[in-house]
């Protein structure tokens, strides 16, 4: 009986555009409509291919898209639906639009920053590398740090920006609209490192190209967590910067001045469109399944051999999303 290994992707993941197209599959909101039967059928189709009972076809690729966007690569269990990457833009839509509302007071700023960090914690936990996990007390502690940091930065900037005397009113207004981005960027990085801190302390599993575990690596964990944190900033940048600047311009037009009730729907639309476009572009910057030279990891990985006795030139690890 044949034992086929399905390719990681139908696209060339060594190129940025290939990773973007792969990310478009993983983040496609249409996969949220997949039922339990659809998921089971997709898993069955992939198993049939691996056993050599069917050829690599559009059906197999469609099944892989459902599996990749629904099941966690480590546990093979469905990720809780609101926190799948295919639901990222939708879950964050209201939260992001809330943070970008003009003239938020202190209470509003605290509420939306707290909500945003709560959602971030859920996404980071649901999509993290599962070979090393935080305990509930560690997760609660990390959550409190992230919420405190984001609220502190947002409130602090809201107090500081109006007091800057050398800037004209227009520049102050722009900075005020971009304050949520500064808070989200800073706290987002902190959130990723805190919620995945146990990976940095204990290391994450490293695999050969056959999927066999070679042990845990702290350096691989640093690559995984660092790249994820950077991709979150890159993802947040257009979402938190473009909509508020466009909304500022639209609020000066007659039609929005005459219909101020349209401000919230317009804001939601701008955030939603930007999110759907920006997410795969950000996720695609780094591969989800990272390939790296063993020489960049700890010395215990330097002299490993494959099943044919040849030195391993590349090893893999799950970066997490």
pLDDT digits (tens, 9 = 90+) for 218-252: 999 999 889 888 887 888 888 888 888 898 888 88
User: Nearest-CA neighbor of 127 among 75, 89, 90, 92?
Assistant: 75
Digit-coded pLDDT (tens) for 258-301: 888 888 888 888 888 988 888 888 888 888 788 888 899 898 88
Q: How much is the pLDDT for 3?
A: 66
Name 178's Cβ contacts closer than 8 Å, sequence gap at least 6.
240, 241, 244
Count of the separate structural domains present in the chain: 2
Q: According to DSSP H, which parts of the chain are helical?
A: 16-26, 36-50, 58-70, 88-99, 106-127, 136-160, 169-195, 197-202, 218-250, 254-258, 263-283
Exposure string over 30-61, b if 16+ CB within 10 A, otherwise e: ebeebeeeebeebbebbeebeeeeeeeeeebe
CA–CA gap between residue 321 and residue 284 (Å, rounded): 10
Per-residue model confidence (pLDDT) at position 36: 92
Is 212 a member of any domain?
A: yes
What's the chain's Rg over C-alpha atoms? 22
**In the chain, what percentage of residues exceed pLDDT 90?**
14
- 231 within a domain of the structure (yes/no): no
Q: What phi and psi values does residue 216 have, to the nearest 5 degrees?
A: -100, 145
Higher pLDDT: 157 or 315? It is 315
Confidence class for position 151, pLDDT limits 50, 70, 90? confident
pLDDT band at 61 (very low <50, low <70, confident <90, very high): very high
Domain membership flag for residue 120:
no
> Above 70 in pLDDT, residue 10?
yes
Residue 43 lies in a domain: yes
- Compute how many other C-beta atoms are within 10 angstroms of the C-beta atom of residue 212: 10
Question: 299 lies in a domain?
Answer: yes
Burial of 239 (0-12, 13-18, 19+ CB in 10 A): buried
Q: Which domain holds residue 314?
A: 203-220+236-320
Identify the DSSP state of 70.
H
User: pLDDT higher for 157 or 95?
Assistant: 95
Q: What is the pTM of this model?
A: 0.72
d(CA 77, CA 80): 9
Residue 35: per-residue pLDDT: 92
Nearest-angstrom CA–CA distance, 185 and 234: 9
Q: In what order do the strands lie in the sheet with 213-217?
A: 213-217, 204-207, 315-318, 289-292
Over the stretch 99-145, which tens digit does the pLDDT of each residue have?
877 777 788 888 888 888 788 778 877 876 666 666 778 778 777 88
- Examine the pLDDT at 1 and tell me if it is beyond 60: no
- At 66 the pLDDT is 92
Lowest mean pLDDT among 53-67, 113-127, 154-168: 154-168
Question: Does 311 fall in a domain?
Answer: yes
Q: Residue 185: inside a domain, yes or no? A: no
Q: Give mean pLDDT, residues 82-109.
A: 82
Q: Helices 169-195 & 136-160, crossing angle to 10 degrees?
A: 170
What confidence score (pLDDT) does residue 155 get? 79
Whether residue 55 is contained in a domain is answered as yes
| Residue of 95, 17, 96, 8 lying closest to 283 (CA atoms) | 17
User: Do 177 and 100 contact (CB within 8 A), yes or no?
Assistant: yes
Say which residue the tokens 């590349």 belong to: 314
At residue 94, the pLDDT reads 81
Write b or e for each residue in 252-266: b if 16 or more Cβ atoms lie within 10 A of its Cβ, otherwise e.
eeeebeeeeeeeeeb
**Alpha-carbon span 193 to 199, nearest angstrom:** 9
Q: What's the whole-number average pLDDT of the chain?
A: 83
Query: Sorting pLDDT into bands at 50, 70 and 90, what band is 43?
Result: very high
pLDDT in tens, 193-208: 877 778 888 888 888 8
Percent of the chain with pLDDT over 70: 96
List Cα–Cα distances, 214 to 54, 74, 176, 305, 317, in angstroms: 31, 15, 49, 10, 10
φ/ψ of residue 273, rounded to 5: -65, -45
The owner of tokens 């940095």 is 200
């Amino acid at each position: 009986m044949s034992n086929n290994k399905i390719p990681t992707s139908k696209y060339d993941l060594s190129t940025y555009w290939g990773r973007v197209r792969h990310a478009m599959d993983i983040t496609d909101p249409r996969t949220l409509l997949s039922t339990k039967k659809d998921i089971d059928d997709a898993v069955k189709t992939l198993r049939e291919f691996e056993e050599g009972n069917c050829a690599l076809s559009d059906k197999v690729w469609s099944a892989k898209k459902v599996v990749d966007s629904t099941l966690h690569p480590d546990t093979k269990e469905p990720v809780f639906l609101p926190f799948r990457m295919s639901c990222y833009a939708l879950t964050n839509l209201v939260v992001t639009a809330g943070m970008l509302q003009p003239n938020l007071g202190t209470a509003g700023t605290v509420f939306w920053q707290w909500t945003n960090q709560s959602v971030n914690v859920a996404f980071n936990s649901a999509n993290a590398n599962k070979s090393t996990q935080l305990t509930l007390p560690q997760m609660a502690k990390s959550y409190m740090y992230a919420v405190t940091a984001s609220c502190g930065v947002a409130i602090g900037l809201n107090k500081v920006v109006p007091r800057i005397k050398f800037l004209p009113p227009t520049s102050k207004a722009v900075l005020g609209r971009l304050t949520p981005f500064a808070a989200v960027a800073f706290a987002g990085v902190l959130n990723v490192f805190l919620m995945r801190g146990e990976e940095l302390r204990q290391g994450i599993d490293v695999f050969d190209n056959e999927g066999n575990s070679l042990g845990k690596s702290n350096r691989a964990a640093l690559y995984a967590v660092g790249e994820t944190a950077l991709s979150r900033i890159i993802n947040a940048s257009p979402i938190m910067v473009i909509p508020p600047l466009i909304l500022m311009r639209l609020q000066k037009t007659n039609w929005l001045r005459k219909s101020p009730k349209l401000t919230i729907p317009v804001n939601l639309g701008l955030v939603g469109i930007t999110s759907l476009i920006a997410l795969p572009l950000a996720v695609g910057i780094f591969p989800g399944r990272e390939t790296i030279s063993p020489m960049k990891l700890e010395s215990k990985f330097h002299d490993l051999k494959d099943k044919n006795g040849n030195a391993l030139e590349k090893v893999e690890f799950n970066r997490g999303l």
